[in-house]
Amino acid sequence: MMKYLQKLGKSLMLPVACLPICGILMGLGYAMCPSTMQGGEVTGMVNMIGFFLVKAGGALIDNMAWLFAVGLAVGMADDHEGTASLAGLVSYLMMQGLLATGTVTTLMPKIAEDATKVIAFNKIAGNAFIGILAGLIGSACYNRFKNTKLPDWLAFFSGKRCVAIVTAIASIIASLILVFVWPIIFGFLVSLGNAIVSMDAVGAGIYAFLNRLLIPTGLHHALNNIFWFDTIGLGDLSLFWAGKTSADVTWSLGMYMSGFFPCMMFGIPGAALAIIHTAKPEKRNIAVGLVLSAAICAFLCGVTEPFEFSFMFLAPVLYVVYALLYGVFTFVTVLLGFRGGFSFSAGLTDLVFSASLPAAAKTLLIIPLGIAAALVFYIVFRVMITALNLKTPGREDDGVDEMNVVLANNDFTAIARIVLEGLGGKENVTSVDNCITRLRLEIKDYTLVDEKKIKAAGVAGVIRPSKTAVQVIVGTQVQHVADEFKKLM
Handedness of CA 53, 56, 58, 61 (dihedral sign): negative
d(CA 417, CA 412) in angstroms, rounded, equals 8
d(CA 112, CA 312) in angstroms, rounded, equals 50
E strand or H helix at 172, and its extent?
Answer: helix 163-198
E strand or H helix at 52, and its extent?
Answer: helix 45-61
- DSSP letter at 339? B
Q: Among 141, 162, 297, 435, which one carries the catalytic annotation? A: 435
**AA identity, residue 314:** L
> In this structure, how many other beta carbons lie within 10 angstroms of the beta carbon of residue 445?
12
**AA identity, residue 367:** I
Cα angle 241-191-97, degrees, rounded to a multiple of 5: 65
Contact 51, 39 (CB under 8 A): no
62 phi and psi angles, rounded to 5 deg: -75, -10
Pairing of strands 469-473, 461-466: antiparallel
Cα angle 76-294-417, degrees, rounded to a multiple of 5: 65
Question: Is 301 annotated in the active site?
Answer: no
DSSP helix/strand/coil, 368: helix
**AA identity, residue 419:** V
d(CA 54, CA 97) in angstroms, rounded, equals 28
Contact 273, 282 (CB under 8 A): no
For 46, residues 6+ apart whose C-beta sits below 8 A from its C-beta are 32, 33
- The alpha carbons of the chain give a radius of gyration, in whole angstroms, of 24
User: Which residues are the active-site residues?
Assistant: 435
